[in-house]
Structure 1
């Protein structure tokens, strides 16, 4: 187990995802459909290349689950990108990270998994964070909140579907299906909503796929060489990086209630990761 390298990979991954989030925020004049299209199409060059280079069959064995995962994941990504138009990027990312809570709830009914009482307490702590964000801060957009929470629910369903697939499909095949479906979805929805990018917007649209791929590949590398209980908590550093970029480049302001809400959300999720790793639930 190479902990030092895993930490470096995870930090690089979270920074890449933070840059992708900031890029989405920067492209305020480009609609979310086009952002989904360019983000997914850009990553296809990497995923297809990896599959061809390693001679991995592009068509998986469990197509129904792969397509379902891809449609749900693409819908979640679209709603998240739409929410960034209304929320500060740090807040949007924090709310999206409630996905594991919804995944745990759905897993109880769909996969017959057990959730221990203390875990429910940690999940409740995170939900209190959501209430603090909206209930005690009048500046939080209700529309943005609804969009990102639906995105989180769908993202939680993605976790459940991936658990159902298990090790029966290569991770690159799963990601490739996701990128193909997301490209098609974003492309079709963009036809009647196309806004021609101008100047450097083309460069930023191209960067979306690069940042997304780098974030995904280095996160995978980190999980491959170190235990989950060491690596998983570091993923939440993405919130810190994203919020910092928001303050520095977009003049976003985080109130005391914003910070308290974000701290409760991330704190509850970190406690759940710790508890699961310690007691192997």
Structure 2
């Protein structure tokens, strides 16, 4: 899980660094790299490429594409650690969608923790005047769509291999990202090619090692480790991008992550 979170942190950092590249061009390079690696693995292992629950996998792919595009856009406006922390509100929206769409129930303490996490957002925005409203809107919208992705994956269930589900997402992102980036294409120069190529590699290994972690250890032990990504990303923001986080920003981030980790532990019990 630590390798996974480090991979995702590096991927997000490269996206932040390449802020001169159009969003959908970044989406294209992010997805085509993972598509090539994922398809190669699927064919090598003899896994059915198209899967079974195709309709919901297409819905998941489109929803995931919207979430990723909005998140990449938000990185142009927000410190990277703040953006990643706010994106992690997705499990709250996932829980709310599960109540509405899957008729699941939540414990009263979970509702309190969700409110506590939102209070962290208010602290983050209300007291830190440097937080961009545009960036905040984009990343909150991204977390809503990410929450819907979780519910769609649960709806798909275990009938399809995880890499097949991911591959639908990567294929959709490659096609739509490629088409939408034609008019705004920025020709990569020098090390841009290497950095753009790394997006798919970091993203692919982030997915693979996260899946492996959940396969070999109990969920309530593994899931909280996802939030190590916030620590990695904050450090990258400080040392690579010279991001400055006020005490209010750090307090808001701590409130959000504390609430979500506690919710994961309680939810799994």
TM-score class, shorter? over 0.9
Query: What CA distance in whole angstroms lies between the structure 2 residues aligned with 1:140 and 1:193?
Result: 27
Q: Aligned residue pairs: how many?
A: 269
Aligned residue in 2 for 1:39: 30
Matches within 5 A, 1:1-281: 10-278=1-269
| Corresponding residue SS for 2:190 | coil
Query: What CA distance in whole angstroms lies between the structure 2 residues aligned with 1:112 and 1:152?
Result: 21
- Structure 1 unaligned residues grouped into runs of 5+: 1-9
- Quote the offset at 1:123 in angstroms: 0.6
Query: What CA distance in whole angstroms lies between the structure 2 residues aligned with 1:227 and 1:267?
Result: 20
- Quote the offset at 1:268 in angstroms: 0.5
- Quote the offset at 1:141 in angstroms: 0.4
- Quote the offset at 1:277 in angstroms: 2.2
Query: What CA distance in whole angstroms lies between the structure 2 residues aligned with 1:162 and 1:116?
Result: 22
- Quote the offset at 1:199 in angstroms: 1.1
- Quote the offset at 1:94 in angstroms: 0.3
Query: What CA distance in whole angstroms lies between the structure 2 residues aligned with 1:218 and 1:168?
Result: 21
> For structure 1, which segment, 54-63 or 255-264, has the greater mean C-alpha deviation from structure 2 after superposition?
54-63
Q: State the Cα deviation string for residues 34-79 of structure 1 (Å, max 9, x = none).
A: 0000000011111101110111111121111010000000110000
| Corresponding residue SS for 1:250 | coil
Query: What CA distance in whole angstroms lies between the structure 1 residues aligned with 2:268 and 2:66?
Result: 30
- Structure 2 unaligned residues grouped into runs of 5+: none
Query: What CA distance in whole angstroms lies between the structure 2 residues aligned with 1:92 and 1:136?
Result: 16
TM-score, length of structure 2 as denominator length: 0.99
Query: What CA distance in whole angstroms lies between the structure 1 residues aligned with 2:176 and 2:141?
Result: 18
- Quote the offset at 1:196 in angstroms: 1.1
Query: What CA distance in whole angstroms lies between the structure 2 residues aligned with 1:52 and 1:222?
Result: 23
Q: State the Cα deviation string for residues 99-152 of structure 1 (Å, max 9, x = none).
A: 000011111110000011110001111100111111111000000000000000
| Corresponding residue SS for 2:182 | helix
Runs of 4+ in 1 over 3 A off after TM superposition: none
Query: What CA distance in whole angstroms lies between the structure 1 residues aligned with 2:62 and 2:31?
Result: 13
TM-score, length of structure 1 as denominator length: 0.95
Query: What CA distance in whole angstroms lies between the structure 2 residues aligned with 1:59 and 1:277?
Result: 31
